[in-house]
Amino acid sequence: MSAAMKEMPVKLPKSFDRPDEPWHHYLTIDVIWYVLGYTLFHPFVSWVIVLCLRAQYTPYGNIEMRVAMAWATLMTSIGLFGLVSDRIAWGSPREVDLAEEVIVITGGAEGLGGLLADTYGMRNANIAVLDTKVVSEDEAEQKGVLYYQCDVSDAKQVEAAAAKIVQDLGAPTILINNAGILHTKSILDTSAEDVERTFRVNTLSHFTTIRTFLPYMLQEGRGTIVTVSSVLGHLGAANLSAYSASKAALLALHHSLRAELAQNPAAKDIRTILVQPGQMGTRMFAGLETPSNFLAPVVTPAEIGKDIIKLIERGESGEVALPLYSRYIQILGVLPVGVQSLVRSWSGVDGAVERMVEVRGEMGRKR
């Protein structure tokens, strides 16, 4: 059951804010894979082809009928295997009623976190945002979101905010760890303070919020914890050493958390979601050009947010990885090191940040 939707004024982006692109700019491997998933690779569609051939009185012994039946059987087997694999990996879903859930989002004033907060606010959910940015009471009331000015890298501030949330909304049952910062510096130019600040916000804050809010979930007997990492946690990138390392640490944290929850009988209805996006079209990565718009398109917060919300409201554990390459990026690590070097060189991932800094500098001079 979902909460009732409320009206909320929004400002749609102007068409002239976006450059005109040719039609093939929007043709990506993700679009092709999506279409194939609902057509040629879908078990139902595969069996429809078999039925169409039988409607034409095609004999079972004909080659086209044999191929169609073999393909339909293969797609059905793969689909069933996927369902069984997911159930073994993630367990059965829990019941979710937004009216009875209290959602906490870190870094929810803008970007992906802001989109999630606004979406749940429009649905009259109990939503609390922890962010250093100050949001006016009028804006908060308009969005239907409670904002708590809080530096999530400070454990005492998080604990104080948690006490207020419990008093205002009740025990938190959904935690979306989204807060993050970015320093575009080389290792030699990165100070100890930069590294420490990055890890405190991007990594240590997850430990703090989990330690603070997980006891409430155990007490309520239900919950969902969302960990927002990055594909750079697998890849790393030049001039993003602190950011990449902090996101890589979150991968280990997520798997360790899952292992500990599996050993706790009181946590049988607590679900975990790992988010590993590629390049997102947010202010944090403004000016960063994707190496290949076809193979590595820029994903919008709406695309990532949609999948996060779907898993949360289904009460399921799982992983959100967009675009397509981010689902299989771990395969790169098992390839010969020479192939890995060629892929990195061809992709341009290690020169992207330097170009982004140059673009931002040019934009700043134009202003």
Name the catalytic one among 120, 148, 216, 243: 243
Q: Which two tokens stand for residue 162?
A: 């948690």
Residue type, 66: R
Which residue in 202, 226, 212 sits closest to 157, CA to CA? 212
Residue 182 in tokens = 């970015």
Q: Does residue 147 carry a catalytic annotation?
A: no
User: Which residue in 329, 284, 271, 280 sits closest to 304, CA to CA?
Assistant: 280
The answer to whether residues 227 and 179 touch, using CB atoms and an 8 Å cutoff, is: no
Whether 170 and 162 have beta carbons less than 8 Å apart is answered as no
Provide φ and ψ at 130, rounded to 5°. Answer: -105, 120
Structure tokens at 255: 């798997």
Which helix (DSSP H) or strand (DSSP E) does residue 297 occupy?
none
In SS3 terms, 94-152 reads as CCCCHHHCEEEEECCCCHHHHHHHHHHHHCCCEEEEEECCCCCHHHHHHHCCEEEECCC
Residue 294, CA atoms < 13 Å, CB-side half-sphere: 5
Tokens of 58: 């095609």
Catalytic residue list? 243
